Amino acid sequence: MRGETRSPPLAALANQSDHGFMALKNNGAGDRSPVGNRSTTAAGYAERVAALRTRLAAQPPGAPVRLAKRTSNLFRPRAGTTGPGLDVSGFTHVLDVDPVARTADVEGMVTYEQLVDATLPHGLMPLVVPQLKTITVGGAVTGLGIESSSFRNGMPHESVLEMDLLTGAGDIVLARRDNEHSDLFFGFPNSYGTLGYALRLRIELEPVRPFVRLEHIRYSDTVEYFDAVNRACRDRAADFVDGTVFGPREMYLTLGTFTGEAPETSDYTWLDIYYKSIRERTIDHLPVRDYLWRWDTDWFWCSRALGAQNRLVRLLAGPKLLRSQTYWKVVTFERHHQWLAGLNRALGKPRREAVIQDIEVPVGKAADFLDFFHREIPISPVWMCPVRQRDSDRTWPLYQFDPGSLYINFGFWATVPLAPGQREGSNNRLIEKTVTELGGRKSLYSESFYDPDTFWQLYNGKTYRALKDRYDPGHRLLDLYDKCVKAR
């Protein structure tokens, strides 16, 4: 049974636990839901679409179309661009939350933080909530998102019911799984804005309960570890499944289960650090909102590289600054100015290569990949998250899974030293080669090094080209290979 069938609607929560009900409201920002009057928000959306059409018409004929965005969660370099982009910054509204149909209508630039704050007061959440607050709904769908509910709900695009998409041809089309634009509906995920941009999406929601009970189980053998992961997902042993790998013989499987009450709750939004608690606690409880954002406070564990795990720094920064958005700004500043890289060179330290990737391999190959990773890539911790396609009768052509198989996502985000003479990108190339040999693939949000033939074999070049010819015949949007590998 899916986890949502075990979770009662909000009305029932108050009868089960007044304490839990109030915690859900308070932690779900119940007093500041951004959803307005339905007719007002619909009219506002129509006005924003009309204004966008006007801006698009003003673009020079044949000129490349790109979005003007203030934020990004991409970790690949991008070539400099000239001229103004197409401003979609106003598409940040949660238009409607329907607690009966369990759906939400949102604009493409709505962040998951906004969306969660709008749905939790109704006792609902998106079926998959990616880990970082500033990831947008449109970005998670045209890219790929994953979280601990993905073993039962797949990826964010699998809970989309319909989308308004601005295509490279300048049209705004309504794409559903069963209409004349179903090819774009299914081909949009993993296209990274090269076929069009999502202006509005209607997505499914599922019920929540006020708290999540966490159990952290330690393993020291990789084969036993992934056998346990496979069983937990097969038996639906919990509502959420993920894991943290600290070393070859220190792996934790975390099972999260919705519950109406909690004897006490932990707080990882300020001084205490969630990933460190995995080693320290066997059982833990979090309010549901804190659980959804448990990784954001420290950007998983990447905050340590920025000194933000020092207790005095945390005390002075306060909860408002301890979030992935802050760390991203620091990283962006360093990318532009290279101060730290220059200092390391002056001190005679070895060059370092950024190895920032999320990959998936079949569960039967997960132990092989992790053993390889520990031998070759000096990064720890590593995040582990199982994912299975939600509906076996659907095909998402640009990122296909075997619908009957469980896959394991590994996330690793750090830099590694390069030996004298070692080529920049060599570690990433080795990872790509190994993942391909194991029957997996990787997300394209970060740097990629594939040659064109390998890339299009992995990401279905034939289908992509057919979609490109139909929806962007003038190639005003970048090609997927150019954007994700050549970084144009």
Asked if residues 424 and 444 have their Cβ atoms less than 8 Å apart, the reply is no
Check whether residue 175 and residue 33 sit in a common domain: yes
- Tell me if 94 is assigned to some domain: yes
Indicate if 243 and 326 belong to the same structural domain.
yes
Q: Is residue 473 part of a domain?
A: no
Asked if residue 475 belongs to a domain, the reply is no
191 and 278, same structural domain? no
**C-alpha to C-alpha distance for 409 and 243, rounded to whole angstroms:** 10
Pair 177, 233 in one domain: no
449 within a domain of the structure (yes/no): no
- Rounded CA separation 248/377 (Å): 12
The residue from 207, 222, 254 where one domain ends is 207
C-alpha triplet 228, 230, 234: angle, nearest 5° = 120
On whether both 180 and 82 belong to a single domain, the answer is yes
Asked if residue 210 lies in contact with residue 286, where contact means CB atoms within 8 angstroms, the answer is no
| DSSP notation for 75-114 | BS------S--EE-TT---EEEEETTTTEEEEETT-BHHH
Tokens representing residue 95 in the block: 């238009």
Residues 435 and 318 in one domain: yes
Clarify whether residues 151 and 294 are in a common domain.
no
Output the six-digit token pair for 75: 């970790």
- Does residue 455 form part of some domain? no
- Under the phi-then-psi rule, with left for phi > 0, alpha for psi from -120 to 50, and beta for the rest, what region is 192? left
pLDDT value for 72: 59
Q: Where residue 65 sits, what CATH number does that domain have?
A: 3.30.465.10
Domain final position from 159, 185, 207: 207
pLDDT score of 9: 30
Of all helices (H) and strands (E), which one includes residue 413? strand 406-417
CATH of the domain at 383: 3.40.462
- The reply to whether 179 and 244 lie within a common domain is no
- Examine the domain organization and report whether 243 and 354 are in the same domain: yes
- pLDDT tens, residue order, the chain (488 aa): 333 333 323 223 222 333 333 334 444 333 334 566 666 678 899 999 999 988 888 888 777 877 776 655 555 566 555 445 788 889 999 999 999 999 999 999 999 999 999 999 999 999 999 999 999 999 999 999 999 999 999 999 999 999 999 998 889 999 999 999 999 999 999 999 999 999 999 999 999 999 999 999 999 999 999 999 999 999 999 999 999 999 999 999 999 999 999 999 999 999 999 999 999 999 999 999 999 999 999 999 999 989 999 999 999 999 999 999 998 888 877 777 777 777 677 777 788 999 999 999 999 999 999 999 999 999 999 999 999 999 999 999 999 999 999 999 999 999 999 988 899 999 999 999 999 999 999 999 988 999 999 999 999 999 999 999 999 999 999 999 999 998 76
CA distances from 129 to 43, 284, 311 (A): 28, 20, 28
In a domain, 458, yes or no: no
What are the angstrom distances between the C-alpha of 29 and each of 98, 294, 350, 374, 484?
A: 17, 16, 47, 41, 37
Q: What pLDDT, on a 0 to 100 scale, did the predictor assign at position 80? A: 52
Task: Determine, yes or no, domain membership for 450.
Answer: no
Please name the residue that has the structure tokens 């932690």.
27
How many folded domains does the chain comprise?
A: 2
Q: Are residues 310 and 188 in the same domain?
A: no
Same domain for 315 and 182?
A: no
CB 134 within 8 A of CB 324: yes
Cα separation, 386 vs 150, whole angstroms: 7
**Closest to 50 measured CA to CA, from 180, 191, 179, 199:** 199
Do the beta carbons of residue 266 and residue 286 sit within 8 Å?
Answer: yes
Residues 430 and 386 in one domain: yes
d(CA 270, CA 280): 17
What domain range includes position 353?
211-442
Give the pLDDT score at 6.
31
Place of tokens 């060059």: 351
Rounded distance between C-alpha atoms, residue 181 and residue 165, angstroms = 10
Please indicate, yes or no, if residue 309 is contained in any of the structural domains. Answer: yes
Compute the C-alpha angle 27/113/408, nearest 5°: 105
Under DSSP, is residue 250 helix (H, G, I), strand (E, B) or coil? strand
Looking up tokens 């709008």, which residue turns up? 118
Q: Which helix (H) or strand (E) holds 467?
A: helix 461-471
**Predicted pLDDT of residue 225:** 98
